[in-house]
C-alpha cells in the first residue's frame, strides 16, 4: 500500500456539466473532510455513500470562509474501490475554473498531484486489476468509437485475462509433468511426454492463433478501417467525404491536408471507425503532383480495407468506370451512385451484373440524402457474421499482439522439437518461454520499466 494520498481531475477538461476530482490514499477521507462543509462529517460517512455540501477555503481567516463550489462527495473505502485504497470523489460544477480551484485546495490540504495513470497503477499494484485490464483502461480513455469502446470495456472486465488464465494453467501442468520426468528418468516415460507435449502445445497454439486472428479485427477497429474513395473527377468524391465528415462531426479528427480538398478524415459510420481517403484530392491539385497522385491512389487502392467507388448518376457509365468496376468487384467495394437529385443517365443494371444489390447505394452527397443507406451497407459488409456482439475481439493492443506472436513461436518450437527427438529438458525451455510470454500479457513477469511505460500513457486522473 502507498503511504501518500494523490489527487487529480478525473474527468476530461473542457465543457461538461460536472467534473470530478478523485483523491486516493490513506488520508483521502481526511484530506477532503478538511475542506468540505456538509451535514455529516465526511469521516463519519459510511462507505459508498454520497454527501452533499460545499467546498470551502477556510484558510481565508476564521470568519471568512470562501465557498468554492457546491459539490457531491462520494466516499469509497478500500479495498472496495478502484485503487483498493480509500477513494473520495468530489463532483464539482463543470468548467475549468471551479474544478481547478477545488483540486488546488485539496492539494494544499495534504494530497499530492497524481502522475498520469497513477490511479490505475495503484489499482494494478494493489492487485485490484491485472495488466491487461489496466491497459484496457488506457484504451477506454482513448477509444473514439462505440465499437472500440465496447471492446475496451470487455477487456477491462477481464475477458482476455479469462482466456489466458486456463491456457497458462495447462502449460504449467505440462511443465510440472515434464519436470517429474526429468527428475525420475528411470521411469522411462519420455515417449509419453513427447506425445503429451505435442498434444498440449498444439491445443494452446490453436487458441493463441484464434486470439491473433481476432486481434487483426481489433486493430482495424482501433485505427479505423482504411477506406479509399475512388471515381472519376467530378463524380462527387470530395462532396461525399465532406458529407460524411459533417454528419459525424463528434469524432472527426482533422488531418491537415491540401488547401482545396480534404484528403483524409476520420469518421464513424454506424459505430465503425473509418479512415476515409480521397485519393483524387491529390490528383486534382496540379499537374506537377499528378504523377505522385496517381501512384498514391494506386497504392491506396491496393491497401484499402474498404473501397467506395463513386459513380455519377447524371452521366452514362464511362470506360474508366467500367474498368474500375471490373477491377474492384472481388474487393470489399461499395458502389456509390451519387447525384440522385439530378436526372438519371446512368444505367445501373450494368453495375448490378457484377455487384449484389446490397453493395450498391444511391445517394446525393450534396443534399445529404441516402447517407444512412451507405452506413447500413458499410456495417453489413463488415459485421455480417464476421463479428458478433458475443464474440467481440479481445486482443486489441500492440503489446499483447507481440507477446502472442512470441508465444506462438515458442509453442511451434516445442512442437517441432518433439518430432526431432530433442531431449525433453530442452523442449521444456520453449514451453516455459510460452508460459512466460502469456504471463507478460497479464503483467505477471512485468519488470518496472514495462510498468512505467504502460502507465505513463494515461491521462491525469485515471
C-alpha cell at 92: 464539482
Pick the closer one to ligand GDP by CB: 31 or 242. Answer: 242
Mark residues 248-287: x for contact with Zn ion by CB under 5 A, - for none.
-------------x--------------------------
Contact assessment for residue 351 and residue 326, using Cβ atoms and an 8 Å cutoff: no
Among ligand GDP, Zn ion, none, the one that 113 touches (CB under a kind-dependent 5 to 8 A) is: none
Contact assessment for residue 7 and residue 73, using Cβ atoms and an 8 Å cutoff: no
Q: Is 235 annotated as contributing to ligand binding?
A: yes
Pick the closer one to ligand GDP by CB: 238 or 407. Answer: 238
Among 238, 312, 362, 396, interactor with Zn ion by CB under 5 A: 238
Q: What is the nearest approach in angstroms of ligand GDP to the Cβ of residue 342?
A: 5
Task: Provide the binding-site residues for ligand GDP, judged by CB under 6 A.
Answer: 231, 233-239, 280, 338-339, 341-342, 364-366
Pick the closer one to ligand GDP by CB: 7 or 365. Answer: 365
338 binds Zn ion (CB under 5 A): no
Q: Is 254 annotated as contributing to ligand binding?
A: yes
Among ligand GDP, Zn ion, none, the one that 24 touches (CB under a kind-dependent 5 to 8 A) is: none
Contact assessment for residue 57 and residue 65, using Cβ atoms and an 8 Å cutoff: yes
Q: What is the nearest approach in angstroms of ligand GDP to the Cβ of residue 9?
A: 43
Hey, what's the torsion of the CAs at 396, 399, 404, 405, to 10 degrees? 110
297 binds Zn ion (CB under 5 A): no
66-76/49-57 β-pairing: antiparallel
Pick the closer one to ligand GDP by CB: 169 or 286. Answer: 286
Q: Is 40 annotated as contributing to ligand binding?
A: no
Contact assessment for residue 126 and residue 84, using Cβ atoms and an 8 Å cutoff: yes
> Total binding residues for Zn ion by CB under 5 A?
3
Q: What is the nearest approach in angstroms of Zn ion to the Cβ of residue 283?
A: 9
Tell me the C-alpha distance between 43 and 10, whole Å.
22
Pick the closer one to ligand GDP by CB: 279 or 418. Answer: 279
Q: Is 220 annotated as contributing to ligand binding?
A: no
418 binds Zn ion (CB under 5 A): no
161 binds Zn ion (CB under 5 A): no
Pick the closer one to Zn ion by CB: 261 or 444. Answer: 261
- Which residue's C-beta sits nearest to Zn ion? 238
Among Zn ion, ligand GDP, none, the one that 234 touches (CB under a kind-dependent 5 to 8 A) is: ligand GDP
Q: Is 236 annotated as contributing to ligand binding?
A: yes
Q: Is 462 annotated as contributing to ligand binding?
A: yes
Among Zn ion, ligand GDP, none, the one that 122 touches (CB under a kind-dependent 5 to 8 A) is: none
Annotated binding site for GTP: 234-239, 253-259, 278-281
Annotated binding site for Mg(2+): 238, 259
Annotated binding site: 22, 89, 128, 234-239, 253-259, 278-281, 462
Q: Which residues bind Zn ion (CB under 5 A)?
A: 237-238, 261
Annotated binding site for K(+): 234, 253, 255, 258
Annotated binding site for (6S)-5-formyl-5,6,7,8-tetrahydrofolate: 22, 89, 128, 462
Amino acid at each position: 500500500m502507498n503511504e501518500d494520498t494523490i489527487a487529480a481531475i478525473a474527468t476530461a477538461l473542457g465543457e461538461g456539466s460536472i467534473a470530478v476530482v478523485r483523491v486516493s490514499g490513506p488520508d483521502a477521507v481526511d484530506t477532503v473532510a478538511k475542506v468540505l462543509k456538509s451535514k455529516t462529517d465526511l469521516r463519519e460517512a459510511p462507505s459508498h455513500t454520497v454527501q452533499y455540501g460545499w467546498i470551502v477555503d477556510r484558510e481565508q481567516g476564521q470568519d471568512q470562509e470562501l465557498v468554492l463550489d457546491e459539490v457531491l462527495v462520494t466516499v469509497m473505502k478500500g479495498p472496495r474501490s478502484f485503487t483498493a485504497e480509500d477513494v473520495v470523489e468530489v463532483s464539482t460544477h463543470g468548467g475549468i475554473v471551479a474544478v481547478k480551484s477545488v483540486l488546488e485546495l485539496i492539494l494544499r490540504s495534504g494530497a499530492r498531484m497524481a502522475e498520469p495513470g497513477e490511479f490505475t497503477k495503484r489499482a494494478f499494484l494493489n492487485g485490484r486489476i491485472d495488466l491487461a485490464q489496466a491497459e484496457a483502461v488506457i484504451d477506454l480513455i482513448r477509444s473514439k468509437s462505440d465499437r472500440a469502446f465496447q471492446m475496451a470495456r470487455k477487456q477491462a472486465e477481464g475477458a482476455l485475462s479469462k482466456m489466458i488464465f486456463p491456457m497458462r494453467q495447462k502449460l504449467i501442468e505440462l511443465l510440472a509433468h515434464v519436470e517429474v520426468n526429468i527428475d525420475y528418468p528411470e521411469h522411462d516415460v519420455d515417449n509419453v511426454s513427447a506425445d503429451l507435449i505435442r498434444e498440449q502445445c498444439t491445443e494452446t497454439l490453436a487458441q493463441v492463433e484464434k486470439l491473433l486472428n481476432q486481434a487483426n479485427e481489433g486493430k482495424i477497429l482501433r485505427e479505423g478501417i482504411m477506406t479509399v474513395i475512388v471515381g472519376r473527377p467530378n463524380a462527387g468524391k470530395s462532396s461525399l467525404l465532406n458529407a460524411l465528415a459533417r454528419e459525424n462531426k463528434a469524432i472527426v479528427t482533422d488531418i491537415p491536408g491540401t488547401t482545396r480538398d480534404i484528403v483524409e478524415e476520420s469518421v464513424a459510420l454506424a459505430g465503425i471507425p473509418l479512415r476515409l481517403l480521397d485519393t483524387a484530392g491529390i490528383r486534382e491539385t496540379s499537374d506537377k503532383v499528378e504523377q505522385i497522385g496517381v501512384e498514391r491512389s494506386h497504392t491506396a487502392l491496393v491497401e484499402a480495407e474498404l473501397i467506395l467507388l463513386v459513380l455519377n448518376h447524371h452521366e452514362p457509365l464511362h470506360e474508366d468506370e467500367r474498368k474500375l468496376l471490373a477491377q474492384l468487384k472481388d474487393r470489399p467495394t461499395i458502389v456509390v451512385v451519387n447525384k440522385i437529385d439530378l436526372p438519371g443517365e446512368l444505367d445501373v443494371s450494368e453495375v448490378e451484373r457484377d455487384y449484389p444489390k446490397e453493395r450498391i447505394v444511391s445517394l446525393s452527397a450534396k443534399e445529404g440524402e441516402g447517407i444512412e443507406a451507405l452506413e447500413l451497407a458499410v456495417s453489413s459488409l463488415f459485421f455480417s457474421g464476421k463479428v458478433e456482439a458475443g464474440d467481440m475481439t479481445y486482443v486489441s493492443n500492440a503489446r499483447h499482439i507481440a507477446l502472442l506472436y512470441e508465444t506462438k513461436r515458442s509453442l511451434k518450437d516445442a512442437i517441432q522439437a518433439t518430432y526431432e527427438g530433442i531431449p525433453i529438458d530442452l523442449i521444456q525451455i520453449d514451453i516455459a518461454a510460452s508460459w512466460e510470454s502469456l504471463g507478460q500479457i497479464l503483467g505477471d513477469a512485468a519488470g518496472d520499466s514495462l510498468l512505467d511505460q504502460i502507465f505513463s500513457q494515461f491521462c491525469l486522473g485515471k
